[in-house]
């Protein structure tokens, strides 16, 4: 697939999320993600607000679903999400329920392999159960205890093990994110490096600087 650039809105309120999304869209990003902190803070109302403001952009709801798969996916689809995230460590029945809801509501599923003891086996299982994308994800807390960890620990093995598109996230700099298509991960996501300031989820740069960073990222990804 052609490279895609996704902004992860790892913020906690709709106002800040809409402000950052507007800048990102002006910079040329393709997909908008309602990050987990935003969904915890504002719920499906955040997805509804993003859909209203950006009617033509795909919207990823990073639910990190572990149970109640059909209902969670259904709710986000009705709110305007085009993609939902299910965890690979969830029961396979939950993964299949999310996939069923996605098919019923014409959206897609991203399977996150974070915390799986066998990342390759998890990715294969997610693909076998019908997810559309794999997320190779090194968690925020995991990196907090071991800063050397990042998606490169498992990325190439996962890319070689599945036939569906892969995204890598967690502990990557903006420059590293721009290189992801060269490593077989065409779904480029950026977010946390732009908003995490002293471990608080809040914008950490001015609008013009943020837009310039994102424009540069989009240009590098599209010409990679």
Query: With b meaning 16 or more CB within 10 Å and e meaning fewer, what string describes 177-192?
Result: bbbbbebebbbbbbbb
Where in the sequence is the domain holding 22, given as residue range(s)? 4-222
By the 10 Å C-beta count (0-12 exposed, 13-18 middle, 19+ buried), 1 is classed as: exposed
pLDDT range class, residue 192, cuts 50, 70, 90: low
Instruction: For the chain, give the longest Cα–Cα distance.
Output: 46
Answer whether residue 183 shows pLDDT above 80: yes
Reported pTM: 0.95
State the DSSP code for 180: G
pLDDT of residue 162: 98
User: Using one digit for the tens of pLDDT, what is the confidence trace for 95-117?
Assistant: 999 999 999 999 999 999 999 99
CATH at 215: 3.20.20.70
Q: How many domains does the chain have?
A: 1
pLDDT surpasses 70 at 201: no
Is the pLDDT confidence value at 210 over 60?
yes
Q: Mean pLDDT over residues 117-143, rounded?
A: 97
171 or 43, which is more confident?
A: 43
- Where do runs of H (alpha helix) occur along 88-164? 92-105, 119-128, 140-145, 155-161
Partners of 140 in the β-ladder: none
Q: How far is CA 62 from CA 148, 165, 194, 213, 216, in A?
A: 24, 17, 18, 23, 25
pLDDT band, residue 224 (cuts 50/70/90): confident
List the structure tokens of 178: 């721009």
């Amino acid at each position: 697939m052609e490279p895609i650039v996704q902004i992860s809105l790892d913020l906690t309120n709709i106002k800040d999320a809409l402000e950052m999304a507007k800048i990102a869209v002006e910079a040329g990003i393709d997909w908008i993600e309602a990050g987990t902190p935003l969904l915890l803070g504002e719920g499906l109302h955040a997805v509804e607000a993003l859909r209203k403001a950006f009617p033509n952009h795909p919207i990823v709801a990073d639910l990190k679903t572990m149970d109640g798969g059909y209902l969670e996916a259904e709710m986000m689809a009705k709110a305007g999400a085009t993609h939902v995230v299910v965890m690979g460590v969830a029961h396979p029945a939950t993964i299949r329920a999310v996939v069923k809801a996605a098919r019923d509501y014409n959206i897609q599923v991203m399977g996150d392999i974070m915390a799986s003891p066998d990342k390759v086996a998890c990715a294969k299982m997610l693909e076998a159960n019908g997810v559309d994308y794999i997320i190779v994800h090194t968690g925020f807390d995991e990196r907090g205890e071991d800063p050397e960890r990042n998606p490169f620990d498992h990325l190439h093995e996962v890319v070689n093990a599945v036939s569906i598109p892969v995204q890598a996230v967690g502990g990557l700099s903006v420059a590293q994110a721009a290189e992801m298509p060269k490593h077989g991960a065409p779904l480029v996501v950026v977010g946390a490096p732009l908003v995490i300031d002293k471990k608080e989820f809040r914008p950490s740069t001015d609008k013009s600087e943020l837009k310039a960073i994102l424009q540069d990222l989009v240009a590098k990804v599209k010409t990679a």
